[in-house]
Amino acid sequence: MHENSELVERLLNSRLLQTEWVLYFLLIISAFSLVVLAWKIVFFVLNTVRANDLRAEVGRLVAGGSVDKFKASVADLDGVEAKVLQHSLRYVDNGPDVVEQQMDVALNQGKQRMEVGLTFLGTVGANAPFVGLYGTVGGIVKAFRDLAGSAEGAGISAVISGIAEALVATAVGLLVAIPAVVAFNYLTRQVKKAVGSSNALNQQVLFRLRAEDPE
């Protein structure tokens, strides 16, 4: 019993049960979440603009343009959809089926690149409330400890003040988690949108290649 009491006393005196570091930690991951969100929004906005340029080139190809000329024009473009076509068109001499396989390979790689940062946002959204709750529990434990060591008249005031401060951690945890979840869902939808756009463009290019395939 004496060893257990000593261990508990050490934990109570350590910083592990302090609410302050939890609040700082939540604010730091919130700042990182905002940076990731801003970075990904800029990325997807630029990618949409670049996809529109590529869509115009694909339209000219489907209308009867030269495949070689299309390859040259795509080589100067940027964006996820363009990168997929740039990679797959290297195999145009091997036939449309090989090109289609390479499209799938390149699109999977592009999807993985687009999803960079989303795992962090999903983790923050799922776990920030629990981090805040941990800070609240530590703050309440400290408040009751202060109550046990306070004078009789000031005990209630001390514990109420301590609990009120501890509950701030839960509120901050929710404030960090909710935007992270919204950002995660929004960016996941943008990834799906880009993948769908790439698939549509790939199918149009494959249609044109199969039309020229002698087999």
Per residue in 111-165, pLDDT (tens digit) is 999 999 999 999 999 999 999 998 888 888 777 776 666 655 555 666 677 777 7
pLDDT score of 91 more than 70: yes
Tokens at 131, concatenated: 């981090």
Q: How far apart are CA 170 and CA 147, in angstroms?
A: 21
Long-range Cβ contact pairs of 158-165 (< 8 A, separation 24 or more): 163/139, 165/19, 165/139
Asked whether the whole model's pTM tops 0.85, one would answer: no
Residue 212, exposed/middle/buried by CB under 10 A (0-12, 13-18, 19+)?
A: exposed
| CA-closest candidate to residue 147, choices 159, 138, 137, 139 | 159
| Per-residue pLDDT at 86 | 93
Q: How big is the chain, counted in residues? A: 215
| Per-residue pLDDT at 38 | 96
Per residue in 8-43, pLDDT (tens digit) is 566 666 666 677 888 899 999 999 999 999 999 999
| Per-residue pLDDT at 4 | 47
Mean pLDDT for 58-82 is 89
| Per-residue pLDDT at 176 | 95
